[in-house]
Amino acid sequence: MACWEIPLRPIHRCPVSDPRLLLSNPQSIAGLNPPRLLGRQLVEDGHISASDLVHALDLQSKVDARLGEILIAGGLIDTKTLLDTLAVQSNAQRIDLKRDIPRLKMAQALPASVCLQYAVAPWLWLGNTLLVATSHPSQFEHLRTSMGKTQLSMLPVIADPNHIRDQITRLYGYQLAQKAITQVPSRESCRSWGKSNILKSKRTISLMGCAMIGILMFPHWALTLAALWAALTLLLTVGIKGAGFTLQILSKPPKTSTQLSPQTTQFRLPRVSVMVPLLHEQEIAGALIKRLEKLTYPKSLLDIVLVLEVTDKITRATLARTDLPSWITVIEVPDADGMTTKPRALNYALDFCRGSIIGVWDAEDAPEPDQIEKVVTRFNEAPKNVVCLQGILDYYNPRENWISHCFTIEYATWWRLVLPGIAKLGLVLPLGGTTLFFKRGPLEELGRWDAHNVTEDADLGVRLARHGYVTELIPTVTYEEANCRPWRWVRQRSRWLKGFMITYIVHMKDPIQLIRDLGFLRFMGLQMIFLATFSQFALAPVLWSFWITLFGITHPVHTVLGETATTAMIVLFFTSEFLNITMAMVAVSSKHHRHLMKWVLTTPLYFTLGALAAYKAIYEMIVTPFYWDKTEHGVTKKE
């Protein structure tokens, strides 16, 4: 038994005369006659026509949705009508869980895992019979069977599914929130970092002290060693980027299906759940709903889950003023030891998702309307080991200011050239945190997200690869808000760099095993993506120092290594700059980004902010490794 499940034992049995019960005899609640089919009941009660039923049944044969959900999504009935009809159909009592709230001790009547699996909540003891709130009475027999040898007598009562979800949170929320913190096995998690941080050890502090003394006593040698490491990591970066860039520009663009409907598809369309984490979002919620309403995937198969912390009064107030369609629900994550990271929230909310495909969008995202269709089609066509699809990120405010120009250039280069090239080389893909879609089974098998990692997406990408799963890029774009304020940019980039290095150190605990898991080529790719990327930001000033040679000034490295080695470093540095500018020019050559070409030559100045972010990341790795420096959304107005 899992530590978060409570043993079954009937407690606080209510007398048969409980005023909340309309019927006092359990047999009368159970019913003696077999129930009518739901569709026939709705037709006989005059809620829908026979032709509506025929059309809905035909649609149900092609999609993974219940009849009632299809009728609600089509606007033929509302939720209240469906629940009232289900109560009549199953001869069960209809209850209001907002008014008749189960006592907290009812949590001991059923395990949390059972309640989540069957979307039920224990409501009331009637003698020795447990009344269980459900919105799917047709599944109740499966629930009884799942209890095995407990011989627990249970009867259904009908309640709103959103109210059932709220009661599961109320009864089991703290247990589930605690479980969400430790989903990933400890050997693959960074949660022990704070307890045994290698950067806090006496040995490391001593080494850092010796290094500082060495720098002060032998500055030329110190600069030379830093330049050699910068050159080595730069060579690795240039090699892999250059190879990926060449493969990408020589390859043909993939063909994708953008037309997908239950009438035209040759496979049964699955339900897709997409989680959207929100935190202190005062401006973004209304715009987000408008963007999501543009999605063209059948709404009966769409399960959008807005995830927010229960302590987040700002977002709660914003959503309270927002009308949400039936296919959008809100999950409030209970407080657990004051931890409010995005991956913890995702771990918690996943238990309440109903889809077999799980996606993630950010609060400011504007996905292409047919994005879900592309995801579903690719998952259907791809080999079984393809369990993750990553979309392309772009920005809807590239004209805001100079930083937004350069941010868009940087990410056009990364998402449209470098990352596809890395994929073609067969290397590990670091995930981008949004526009991610997973097959649910493998995601849960791996332990979901590391709740302590501030770049949980990159870490998950490595764990997927280590366990033999494949991530693919798909040609669908999600538009975000480019970070266009200097200090906000530094804060965001420092979080990414901190998470990159923590992820790298976690997976490099056993390099030999990592090579066995990934193979040597992907192992070296990992060095480039994580170690070399961080080194390039941190040692950027060392590389920039070679610009002085253009003015005839002798570089300090020349006095230590001589002219040949210095010349080689200078050639490597300028080759790298030329490659970066060339890739950026190609990346923004399309009609949507062509206006950014004149800003490409200014990107070296833009990356000076990266060095500051790297030093902030180093400090936080030592002092606050789990601190989540949240990116502020809604700075740029769109809509």
Residue 549 CA to residue 242 CA, distance in Å, equals 25
Q: Would strands 272-278 and 357-360 be described as parallel, antiparallel, or unpaired?
A: parallel
Q: Residue 26: what residue type?
A: P
464: nearest Cα among 474, 456, 475 = 456
pLDDT score at 2: 39
Other C-beta atoms closer than 10 Å to the C-beta of 284 total 23
pLDDT score at 35: 63
* 161: Cβ contacts below 8 Å, ≥ 6 apart: 79, 119, 135
Residue 302 CA to residue 298 CA, distance in Å, equals 7
pLDDT score at 9: 40
Low-confidence ranges of the chain (pLDDT < 50): 1-17, 24, 26-32, 639
Helix residue spans in 455-547 (DSSP H) = 456-466, 486-507, 511-518, 520-526, 533-538, 540-544
pLDDT score at 124: 93
338 touches 402 (CB < 8 A):
no
Q: Residue 101: what residue type?
A: I
359 touches 379 (CB < 8 A):
no
26-181: which CATH topology?
A: GMP Synthetase; Chain A, domain 3 (3.30.300)
Collapsing DSSP to helix, strand or coil, 119 comes out as coil
272-481: which CATH topology?
A: Spore Coat Polysaccharide Biosynthesis Protein SpsA; Chain A (3.90.550)
Find the largest Cα–Cα distance for the chain: 98
143 touches 39 (CB < 8 A):
no
Q: Would strands 386-395 and 302-309 be described as parallel, antiparallel, or unpaired?
A: unpaired
What is the residue whose two structure tokens read 């469906």? 82
Collapsing DSSP to helix, strand or coil, 246 comes out as helix
Angle (CA) 242-245-248 rounded to 5° is: 150
pLDDT score at 205: 67
Sign of CA dihedral 28, 29, 31, 37: positive
519 touches 589 (CB < 8 A):
no
Per-residue pLDDT tens digits for 165-198: 999 999 999 999 999 999 999 889 988 876 555 5
DSSP type of residue 629: -
Helix%, strand%, coil% for the chain, nearest 5:
55, 10, 35
Other C-beta atoms closer than 10 Å to the C-beta of 596 total 22
The model's pTM: 0.87
pLDDT score at 1: 37
* 125: Cβ contacts below 8 Å, ≥ 6 apart: 10, 11, 12, 13, 14, 109, 131
Domain ranges of the chain: 26-181, 272-481
